[in-house]
Amino acid sequence: MNEITRIRSDFPILQREIKPGVPLIYLDSAATSQKPSLVLDSMSEYYARHNANIHRGVHTLAEEATELYEAARGKISKFIHARSHTEVIYTRNTTEAINLVAYSWGRKFLKPGDIVLLTEMEHHSNLVPWHILRDSIGIELKFIPVTADGLLDMAEYEKLLQLEPKLVSFTHASNVLGTINPVQEMARSAHRAGALVLVDGAQSVPHFSVDVQQLDVDFYAFSAHKMLGPTGIGALYGKRELLEKMQPFMGGGDMIREVRLEGFTANELPYKFEAGTPAIAEAVGFGSAVDYLTQIGMDAIHQHELEITKYAYSLLMNLPGVTLFGHEKQKRGGVIAFEVAGIHPHDVAQLLDSDGIAVRAGHHCAMPLHQKFGIPATTRASFYMYTEKSEIDKLILGLKKVQKLFG
C-alpha cells in the first residue's frame, strides 16, 4: 500500500475536480466505492464484443457471454472461499440477498412463534425483511443490545440463545460504528443453540479477507458496488444443503428445468434462484473487481484502512465540539460517524462538499441505532484502499471551517 499514488491513478474519478481548483476528496466509500479502470473497461469490452443473452444460445456471442458470466461467479466463489461455485447466487445487492433468505428459507421453515435473533446495529436491509415476515407469518424478533461503546453485548447474546432462535442474523461490520463483530464465535454459539446464521457482509467482504467456511456461517450476503464493482449486482453464499431445500425466490426463465401447464420443476443450483435475464455486464465487472482486489491483496487493504481510520479517529477525537460514535480502541472498519455540536449533519456535509469533500449525512439506513444513542442523524466519513492521510487532514480543516461559519 506504499504505492497509493499508483493505486489512485487506476481510478479515473479520483482525478476529477468538483469545481475548478477543488479536487474531489471521496470519503463515502461505505455508501458505494469508486471503480478502477479494470472494472470499467471489462464492462465496456463485454458490451462492445460479447453482448448476448446467456445459457440459452449456442452461437458464438452467447457462449462467450455465458463463459464470462460463469467465470465471474467462479472468481467470487474463490474470493470468499466457498466450497463450490454452486453455493454463490447472483442477486441485485445485499438487500435482495437477505430478502431471498427471508422469503425462500423463512417462509418454508419458520412458523408462528419462532424466533429470529437480530441486533440493534443492523442496517434496515437486515431489519425490514424480518419485520415483513413477522407481520405475515407471526414470527418473533429479538435483538442483541449494543453497549454504550458500540459493541454487541455478548453476555446478553448468550442469554438470548437460550430462547432457541431458529436464525441469528447480524452484520459482520457496522456501517455506522465501524464495529467488526466476532462472526466465528457468534456462529459457533448459534449452532450450539440449534440456530442457523445469516451474516450481512456488505461492509466486510470489500475490506478484509472473508472465509465463509472458516467462519462456518450458513448464509452470507454482500454487494459488488461496495467492493469496486458495479451497482445492481451482489451475491448470496449459502450452504448447498440449505439452498437445495429452499423454494425459488422468483419465477420465470432460467430458474426452471421444465415447465408444464400444470406446474414446473426448478433448475439446479445456482440457477434455481436466478430468474430472468441477469445483470451480465455487471457480473463481468464484479469478477474484474475481485481480480483487482486480489491483485492488491486483502491483507494489505485492511492494514491500510486500519492505519487511515486510526489516524482519522485521533484527529477527530481531538477536535473540540465533535462527538464520535463507536469503540475507540477496538480494531474497527474504515467508518467513523460523528456529531458536530450545534450543527445539523446535512449542513456539515453540504459545506464540506463546497470544498470537494464527499461525506454522508443522515441515519445511514440505521435509524434504530441512532435512536439508541438519542440522535436523529450523524455525519459519516468512510475510507478505502485509495484514501490518503492528506485527505483526512483536509477533512479536519473543512470541519474547522464549518464550525467557524456557524460561530
Mind telling me the catalytic residues? 365
SS3 98: helix
Rounded CA separation 232/95 (Å): 11
Rounded CA separation 86/401 (Å): 53
**Which of 380, 15, 335 has the alpha carbon at shortest distance from 173?**
335
Burial class of residue 96 (count of CB atoms within 10 Å of its CB; 0-12, 13-18, 19+): buried
Asked if 99 and 88 touch (Cβ cutoff 8 Å), the reply is no
**Which of 231, 374, 238, 400 has the alpha carbon at shortest distance from 315?**
400
- How is residue 180 annotated by DSSP? B
Return all residues near 399 (Cβ < 8 A) that are at least 6 apart.
316, 319, 322, 340, 348, 352
Rounded CA separation 132/97 (Å): 15
- How is residue 2 annotated by DSSP? T
- Beta-strand ranges (E) seen in 360-402 are 360-362, 378-382
Burial class of residue 314 (count of CB atoms within 10 Å of its CB; 0-12, 13-18, 19+): exposed
SS3 91: strand
Radius of gyration of the chain (CA): 22
Instruction: Give me 288's grid cell.
Output: 474484474
Q: Are strands 115-119 and 167-171 parallel, antiparallel or unpaired?
A: parallel
Which residue bears the cell 471503480?
35
Rounded CA separation 293/146 (Å): 32
